[in-house]
């Protein structure tokens, strides 16, 4: 199902569509929205490596597929390892084919973390993209390590008692040539980041915040609004690092100047309906601290 978003200089983007109009995605899905732009940036010479996640289902049911690039579906824990092997093989053949892991948060931050760390430590020439809807979406919204503090999931009926795992910090510790955060609500920014990543050799990482209507419990037409609010509140910061060197993306620069209280973001989502003030306060403190730390680093005043 295609979703029409507000017009933002779309004329500059390639017209070719790699996601066909027959996916099994939910209405308002960030996964297909993001993938559409990521593939526009990657182009034809691309293979997607997809572990168990919503994308496994979104491709459709055999014998049909809704994706117009080769997709290698793999076991849950193995995406980065498979991609690392595939990339090595292509390079040996002299081919520059883009090998892109397209994985959910579960397959990245939990069961997939070992393979990710190994591939990055080895310097594998892959682009790893994690689209993060902060739960195990494919199996019905159970908690993952990426679920934020206080969020309701089917396995945290009283709200998650611990913070979201700092996946970006973990990846940063591997000192990759390029890493970035993105959000489905900013597709052009995502397009640019994918394009830049694929121009660099070695392990690259992009972490996309992927608001999810059934998982986060908001009406399907609010995906863009929720994503933008995540950035405006500092709950999600858009940035890039090239060999560790930070540049904050424009929407977050604006957010640093005038951040919106996190309550505005939490209030849009049913998964936070029973979060207590204590946890809201902790989330606000964490967002403030994070923004401050990024702001300082960007200004080199640390």
Where along the sequence are the contacts to other proteins (CB under 8 A)? Answer: 24-27, 52, 56-57, 60-62, 73, 75-77, 110-111, 113, 136, 138-140, 142-143, 145, 154-158, 214, 217, 219, 270
Minimum CB distance to other proteins, residue 171 (Å): 17
DSSP 112-152: THHHHHHHHHTT---EEEEEE-SSBTTTTSB--TTPPTT--
Minimum CB distance to other proteins, residue 200 (Å): 30
Q: CA 104 to CA 187: how far, in whole Å?
A: 18
Nearer to other proteins, 165 or 196 (CB): 165
Minimum CB distance to other proteins, residue 101 (Å): 17
Q: CA 158 to CA 44: how far, in whole Å?
A: 45
Between strands 178-183 and 239-242, the pairing is antiparallel
Nearer to other proteins, 13 or 66 (CB): 66
Minimum CB distance to other proteins, residue 111 (Å): 4
Minimum CB distance to other proteins, residue 214 (Å): 6
Nearer to other proteins, 143 or 193 (CB): 143
Nearer to other proteins, 213 or 259 (CB): 213
Minimum CB distance to other proteins, residue 239 (Å): 26
Nearer to other proteins, 42 or 101 (CB): 101
Contact by Cβ (8 Å): 48, 73: no
Minimum CB distance to other proteins, residue 197 (Å): 26
Q: CA 59 to CA 114: how far, in whole Å?
A: 26
Q: CA 102 to CA 53: how far, in whole Å?
A: 9
Three-class DSSP category at 291: helix
Q: CA 75 to CA 107: how far, in whole Å?
A: 9
Q: CA 58 to CA 103: how far, in whole Å?
A: 13
Q: Which two tokens stand for residue 126?
A: 């892959």
Minimum CB distance to other proteins, residue 110 (Å): 4
Q: Tokens 């390029």, residue?
A: 178
Q: CA 30 to CA 229: how far, in whole Å?
A: 15
Q: Nearest 5°: phi and psi at 112?
A: -100, 0
Nearer to other proteins, 106 or 176 (CB): 106
Q: Nearest 5°: phi and psi at 180?
A: -155, 160
Nearer to other proteins, 58 or 126 (CB): 58
Nearer to other proteins, 110 or 172 (CB): 110
């Amino acid at each position: 199902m295609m979703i029409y978003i507000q017009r933002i200089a779309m004329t500059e983007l390639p017209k070719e569509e790699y996601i066909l109009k027959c996916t099994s995605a939910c209405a308002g899905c960030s996964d297909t929205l993001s993938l559409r732009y990521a593939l526009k940036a990657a182009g034809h010479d691309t293979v997607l490596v997809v572990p168990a996640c919503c994308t496994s289902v979104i491709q459709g049911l055999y014998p049909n597929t809704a994706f117009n690039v080769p997709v290698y579906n793999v076991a849950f824990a193995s995406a980065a390892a498979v991609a690392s092997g595939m990339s090595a093989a292509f390079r040996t053949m002299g081919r520059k084919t883009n090998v892109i892991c397209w994985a959910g948060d579960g397959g990245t931050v939990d069961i997939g973390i070992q393979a990710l760390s190994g591939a990055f430590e080895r310097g594998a020439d892959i682009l790893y993209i994690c689209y993060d809807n902060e739960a195990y979406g494919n199996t019905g919204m159970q908690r993952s390590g990426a679920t934020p503090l206080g969020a309701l999931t089917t396995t945290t009926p009283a709200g998650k008692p611990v913070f979201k795992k700092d996946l970006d910090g973990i990846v940063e510790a591997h000192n990759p040539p390029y890493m970035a955060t993105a959000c489905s609500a900013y597709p052009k920014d995502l397009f640019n980041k994918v394009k830049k990543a694929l121009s660099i050799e070695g392990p690259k990482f992009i972490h996309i915040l992927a608001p999810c209507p059934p998982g986060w419990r908001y009406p399907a037409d609010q995906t863009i609004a929720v994503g933008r609010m995540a950035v405006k509140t500092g709950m999600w910061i858009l940035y890039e690092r090239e060999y560790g060197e930070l540049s904050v993306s424009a929407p977050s620069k604006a957010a640093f100047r005038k951040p919106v209280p996190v309550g505005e973001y939490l209030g849009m989502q049913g998964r936070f309906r029973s979060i207590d003030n204590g946890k809201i306060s902790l989330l606000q403190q964490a967002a403030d601290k994070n923004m401050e730390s990024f702001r300082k680093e960007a200004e080199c005043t640390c």
